[in-house]
Amino acid sequence: MIVVVLGIATINFFLLHLAPGDAAQVLAGEAGSATPEYIATLRAQFGLDRPLWSQFLSYLGNVLTFDLGWSFRHGMSVGRLILDRLPATLLLMGASVGFAALAGSALGALAGRRAGSLADTAVSTVALLFYATPTFWVGLVLTVIFSVWLDWLPVGGMTTIGAGFSGAAYALDVAHHLVLPAATLGLFYVAVYARLMRASVIDVQGRDYVRTAVAKGLRSHRILRRHVLRNALLPVVTMLGVQIGSVLGGAVLVETVFSWPGLGRLAFEALFQRDLNLLLGVLLCSSVVVVVVNLVVDLAYAALDPRIEVA
């Protein structure tokens, strides 16, 4: 894991140095009076005047101690900013992936059990459509329908501003704000999991152990639950781990559409303020989230499938 983090940090560092101009120039340019002496002072202050390899080594050292540098825009350390925003993103991702895994597996199982039926055609078609629909567009359409026309759900944000809720009322308020973003981010993955689960159920249904269960005269819902679904779920769990990086990417779009105060929104702000230090810090932390989630998925996999041992 340390190797992965160091690798990503290396990519980050060189990406940062591909950028035209450095932080000193950007800041000095904005201050208006950019004398060469002022820029030189800024450079020395930030260590930008040292040779590249020396900057690189100190950057790596900083990353390993979770010191991601300073965001000149926010006047806060990048690590602090990211830690502040991470919970909102994890909540959004958890809700979306949970919704997608439940709805997707249920729909996929329904379709796969009666392959070729009307229900299968309907599920497959809808899944195909959502699979091709850009996340941000789904977000806008849902906003138009549920916030503008029906006025059921808030257009954005995470809490009602100025309401000052606490306790259960606060949780309900956040949940109310969470519905649209989570549904938006989740719908694409509902399609992914429905397609996967359908194929998986069809595959498992043809296996010998299912035929044996049928021959034993087990009731069909028991066969479905104990023999088919349990085995068919394995690829879905694998996919959760594989796709977590793409979920994070989707979160950037969804958080931007719904002004959800998470990592993605932070990345978007950093983008526009040309706060590259912050942007690359978000990239690094997202990668760490991917590594950690994959670790968790491996453990979950071992719990679901006793044939697999955690290496």
Partner 1 sequence: MALLDFGAAVARRRPRAAADGLLVRLLARPSAVVGLALLAIVLVAAAGADRFFPEDPLAMVALPLLPPGEDPAFPLGTDMLGRDIAAGVFHGARVSLLIGVVATLVSLVIGVGIGALAGYYRGALDRALMRVTELFQTIPPFLFALAIVAVLQPSIPTIVGAIGVTSWPSLARLVRAEVLKLRTSEMVEASIALGAGDARIILRHILPNAAGPILVSASILVATAILTESSLAFLGLGDPNVVSWGGMVGAGREVLRTDWYVATLPGVAIVIAVLALNLLGDGLNDALDPRSGRR
Interface with partner 1 (CB under 8 A): 4, 7-8, 11, 15-16, 18-20, 115, 128-129, 131-137, 140-141, 143-144, 148, 202, 245-246, 248-250, 252-253, 256-257, 267-268, 271-272, 274, 276, 279-280, 282-283, 286-287, 290-291
Give the nearer residue to partner 1 in terms of CB position, either 76 or 115. Answer: 115
Rounded least distance, CB 20 to partner 1, Å = 7
Could you tell me which of 92, 70, 22, 125 has the C-alpha nearest to residue 260?
92
* Six token digits for residue 258: 């719904």
Query: What does the H/E/C string look like for 32-73?
Result: CCCCHHHHHHHHHHHCCCCCHHHHHHHHHHHHHCCCCCEECC
Give the nearer residue to partner 1 in terms of CB position, either 16 or 300. Answer: 16
Backbone angles phi, psi at 77, to 5 degrees: -75, 145
Rounded least distance, CB 165 to partner 1, Å = 26
Give the nearer residue to partner 1 in terms of CB position, either 28 or 278. Answer: 278
Rounded least distance, CB 136 to partner 1, Å = 5
Give the nearer residue to partner 1 in terms of CB position, either 157 or 245. Answer: 245
Is the separation of the CB atoms in 251 and 185 below 8 Å?
A: yes
Is the separation of the CB atoms in 16 and 280 below 8 Å?
A: yes
**Alpha-carbon gap, residue 219 to 197, rounded angstroms:** 22
Give the nearer residue to partner 1 in terms of CB position, either 96 or 286. Answer: 286
Rounded least distance, CB 303 to partner 1, Å = 23
